[in-house]
Structure 1
Amino acid sequence: MSGLSARDIGHRVVVRHRLPGGQLTDVIGVLQSYDENSLVVRHSDSTPYEVRLGDVSAAKRIPPMPLRPVDVEQLFLTTALGRPAAETVYAGQWLLRASGGWTGRANSLLPAGDPEMPVSEALKLAETFYTERGLPPLALVRLESPVAQEFEQLGWVDARPEEADTFVLHTTLDLVNAAPAYDVSLSDKPDAAWYETAFEGTPPPAAPAVMEGAPKTAFAAVELDGKVVAVARGVMTGHWLGVDAVRVDPAYRRRGLATALVQGLARWSGQLGGRRTYLEVVSSNVAALTAYENLGYALAYRYRYLTVGSR
């Protein structure tokens, strides 16, 4: 008897089992798969370790790894790669993104890495890029970062002073991949019902290109009373799971549906080598922020949009 089941997939476990020579050894990691014949434990370096159930002498779930400090620079770029714009042009390592004006993230400069030119020149290039596309020049910048300070010194100002900061939260996958309280369906391509729930009607023209543009994507949905009432999008970038486009029908809120969506996507990610997860939430959305913090998410950084000041 292994002491585990398929419900433990995605959680850290320790499995004591017998080697071919007869000696006992332990393997510790995240349970990646489980069936009637064997289980697979994924080590911290993502190496899978398969054990036949007949060789297991004892196994149990163990506490998750403590949340380690995040590499903010890496995560900053990861979030962009997880939701690529319809069009991306590079200024050195900086990303100039355009998607017909739909969402700030998909229509803003991401100053990640080295622009390989003076910042003033890179910003002039950005102004030209967005002007040619009939879009306002925007830059997504981490608050209190050296880049943000340099932009402000060069005359860029808050583009949306009336809006709250956006928080980027992160945690280890172990903390968020418990079995969901609802059945969460996953698809590699969203259907009409998914889009209708996500957008309350017809999605913007650029939405499919942005939402479906990443290589490893899953679209999660929960159906109740014969209709889709909650949706979310998950994307894998390296060992990171990004969760976005979370929306619950107003008539079904405060039932734990957003939590179930995150958990369903986390379990999907765990089988693909996922180890950490991030999501974004506006700081004024107290209900969502509380729900995510209760799941174990913590603040990585805050960002705002800057634009060219008056001259």
Structure 2
Amino acid sequence: MEISATGRLVVRITAADVGKRVSVRRLAKPGVTDTKFTDTVGVLTSWDDGVLLITRRDGESVRIPESSLVAGKIVPPAPARRRGPAASYEELARVSSRAWRPVESERLGEWELRAAAGFTRRANSVLPLGDPGLPLDEALTVVRRWYGDRDLPAYVQTATGAEGTQELLCAELERRDWTREVTAELWTGALAPIADLAEASEVVLSREADEAWLARYQRKGVSEVALRVLGWGSPRSSEAESGGGPSVWFATVPGSSAGAAPAAIGRCVVDGRWAGFAAVEVDPALRRRGLASAVMAALARRALDEGASASWLQVETDNAGARALYAGMGFSAHHAYHHYRAPVSAGNQR
């Protein structure tokens, strides 16, 4: 906290500091001077009508009455992580977007509108990196119309918690009654330690998601569009053949008997220095036997052979088991990301 030369706490932030990362201390019970203090660190996203709105790393917004402040200061961006590869938010946002390639996209200024018949929000949402080239309300009108024309709900994917993320945009969407439906995190880690993990059983790698792999995949009734999203970047694509696009690998641990669903599966997208893991799923009856680690190790070794050195994955905030597994492999959170859905009453949303 900011302390003056006389030893008193001082508020050294104003409404002019909106958009900056701040640390504030406030009274837990406004107006009660002998109550406990509460500290909040995050991006100051607004200061209107005597109320501060601060967005924390996890994307949660905290409303703080100006009258309850006892101290406050601007703080530098969150320090660089000590684990894992260095990377900017923008680099990771673009790499992860290419791993869930939409079947249709369109530019709106520097924003990318993405659609894939509704298969995964990551391929059916706006990636708002930069300026849309229009005032925000006009841009959101275009977004709602574009998705409405495709009979899809309008989503905007935002991020919080790292330098260059979109806390201000999150706050503006919330003011316009957009609803945050999903929050997850993108984690990064070194690739080589994953490749060194011991394999608990045979792992078969393929360029395609075959029927056996799909039998274990948690999304049932996978459509042709979904297969294109999952498999984009295979050597069959002209972009990958020319060296300009990612490549995709699917891993399968065969089931215990002929015709049985696989014991475990996984997917890896190799894109330059990055290997992105996804769809790591294990038969519930066979969990805690090292199968997920075996799948990731096999995929990591293939990614190393293709020149990757760093890795990323996406994990939901309430998936305690997966988070413990990935932390044990050396992964750590880089930023949180969120999907905001347009109000149902807006435009021609279904």
TM bin, normalised by shorter chain, reads 0.7 to 0.9
Residue 251 of structure 2: aligned partner: 220
Structure 1, 277-286 or 193-202: larger mean CA deviation:
193-202
1:196-215 maps to which residues of 2 (within 5 A)? 196-199=215-218, 201-214=220-233, 215=240
CA distance in 2, matches of 1:265, 1:146: 30
Structure 1, 244-253 or 110-119: larger mean CA deviation:
110-119
The Cα shift of 1:153 comes to 2.0
C-alpha distance after superposition, 1:230-287 (max 9, x if no partner):
1111111121101111111112112121111111111000011101110111111100
Letter in 1 for 2:252: A
CA distance in 1, matches of 2:124, 2:177: 16
Letter in 1 for 2:314: E
CA distance in 1, matches of 2:165, 2:274: 25
Letter in 1 for 2:342: V
CA distance in 1, matches of 2:210, 2:186: 28
SS at match of 1:176: helix
CA distance in 1, matches of 2:177, 2:232: 30
Letter in 2 for 1:158: T
TM-score by structure 1 length?
0.72
Residue 191 of structure 2: aligned partner: 173
The Cα shift of 1:148 comes to 4.0
Structure 1, unaligned runs of 5 or more: 1-64
The Cα shift of 1:146 comes to 5.5
Structure 1, 89-98 or 296-305: larger mean CA deviation:
89-98
SS at match of 1:100: coil
CA contact (8 A) 1:236 1:242 kept: yes
CA contact (8 A) 1:196 1:203 kept: no
CA distance in 2, matches of 1:200, 1:75: 25
Cα–Cα, structure 1 residues 305 and 133, in superposed 2: closer, same or farther, change >3 Å? same
Letter in 1 for 2:104: E
Cα–Cα, structure 1 residues 158 and 222, in superposed 2: closer, same or farther, change >3 Å? same
SS at match of 1:206: helix
Letter in 2 for 1:225: S
Q: CA RMSD in A?
A: 2.1
CA contact (8 A) 1:170 1:278 kept: yes
1:133-148 maps to which residues of 2 (within 5 A)? 133-143=150-160, 147-148=166-167
Determine which of 266, 270, 273 is the counterpart of 2:300. Answer: 266
CA contact (8 A) 2:206 2:250 kept: yes
Structure 1, 67-76 or 140-149: larger mean CA deviation:
140-149
Structure 2, unaligned runs of 5 or more: 1-81, 234-239, 241-246
In the alignment of these two chains, the number of paired residues is 244
